[in-house]
């Protein structure tokens, strides 16, 4: 029996490789640097499945270069790198990996929030510099988190996980979303709905958890920063283009907001040089980067591929209409 051919644009974790290799003829990009585009297109010519990361654009160019492709499995919950409509047009299944990274991402959003509030980056740099002179009363004084107001933009699974964590800090939780949560969820999480303008005006910390959609691209622009408190902090672990970095830099330079903590960037891996500031915490897109979670994500992508080859509906299909008929 001839096994279906799969290309993974990353070496993946061993449990995911075992899932693939039991059922497929799997080929991996083993080098630490990202594969060149032309190399991906060349290797896809005879492949029936692609397991990819957010760094690979699955568009008409790629689909045309892969005439045998049946499924593209994204190892991420976001899928703004995939032209789902183009996949559907060509009968290619598209999948992602939702759910398994919610708690880990919420953990890291809280890590960023705490770090920027308490000036951890500055403190770490001082402690390592050899220039620390010892304890002082007003040295690197930051901002309390306990008892403050947390504004959550995007109240899906990760946004709700943020709200659950906020209860331990006795925070007031407010949120905004295109669809208001059920009353039961609001009551359980002690979260109050606000429109965007009210949320911006009330929040001491704003944490973004919205997907990248046409209507959310550039959502946080100069006008939004104008409405925030001067003492407020912005945290983004969603998608970089949700925030206009130039507008954010201007807001920071003019002290319209107190600081920011970012795990994602508008033009990754490039980062606006104006964000290299003492009151900004920067991380290299690692919110879901625990070994347990990233392994689960890779395994989920592999299982989506196997399901497609076995004629089953992948659990995380983005375009189920390709299976009709």
**Residues taking part in catalysis:** 239, 268, 285
Task: Say if CB 309 and CB 24 are below 8 A apart.
Answer: yes
Distances (CA, A) of 257 to 56, 212, 237, 250, 260: 34, 23, 18, 10, 8
What whole-number distance in Å separates Cα of residue 294 and Cα of residue 299?
Answer: 9
CB-based contacts of 308: which residues, under 8 Å, 6+ apart?
49, 70, 71, 93, 314
Distance in angstroms (rounded) separating the CA atoms of residues 184 and 188: 6
Beta bridge partners of 317: 95
The secondary element (H helix, E strand) that includes residue 225 is helix 222-227
Closest CA to 318 of 77, 140, 20: 77
The residues that bridge with 150 in the sheet, in sequence order, are: 173, 205
Q: Are the beta carbons of 113 and 107 closer than 8 angstroms? A: no
Can you give the length of the chain in residues?
A: 325
Q: Retrieve residue 253's tokens.
A: 């330079």
CB contact set of 36 (below 8 Å; sequence gap of 6+): none
């Amino acid at each position: 029996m001839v096994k279906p051919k799969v290309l993974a644009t990353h070496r993946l974790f061993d449990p995911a490789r075992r899932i693939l290799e039991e059922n497929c003829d799997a080929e991996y990009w083993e080098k630490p640097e990202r594969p060149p585009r032309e190399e991906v297109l060349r290797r896809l010519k005879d492949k029936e499945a692609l397991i990819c990361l957010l760094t690979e654009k699955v568009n008409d160019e790629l689909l045309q270069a892969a005439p045998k492709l049946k499924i593209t499995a994204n190892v991420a919950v976001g899928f703004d790198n995939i032209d789902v409509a183009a996949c559907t047009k060509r009968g290619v299944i598209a999948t992602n990996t939702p759910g398994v990274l919610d708690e880990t991402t919420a953990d890291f959003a809280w890590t960023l929030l705490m770090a920027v509030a308490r000036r951890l980056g500055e403190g770490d740099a001082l402690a390592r510099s050899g220039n620390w002179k010892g304890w002082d009363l007003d040295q690197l004084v930051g901002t309390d988190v306990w008892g403050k107001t947390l504004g959550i933009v995007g109240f899906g699974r990760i946004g709700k996980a943020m709200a659950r964590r906020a209860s331990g800090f006795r925070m007031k939780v407010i949120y905004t979303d295109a669809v208001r949560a059920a009353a039961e969820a609001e009551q359980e999480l002690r979260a109050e709905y606000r429109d965007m303008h009210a949320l911006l005006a009330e929040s001491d910390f704003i944490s973004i958890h919205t997907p990248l959609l046409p209507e959310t691209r550039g959502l946080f622009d100069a006008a939004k920063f104008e409405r925030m408190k001067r003492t407020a902090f912005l945290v983004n672990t969603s998608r970089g283009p949700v925030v206009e970095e130039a507008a954010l830099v201007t807001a920071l330079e003019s002290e319209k907001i107190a600081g920011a903590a970012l795990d994602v960037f508008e033009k990754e891996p490039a980062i606006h040089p104006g964000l290299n500031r003492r009151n900004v915490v920067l991380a290299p897109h690692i919110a879901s980067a625990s070994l347990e979670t990233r392994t689960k994500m890779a395994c989920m992508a592999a299982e989506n591929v196997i399901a497609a080859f076995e004629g089953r509906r992948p659990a995380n299909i983005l375009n189920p209409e390709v299976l009709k008929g």
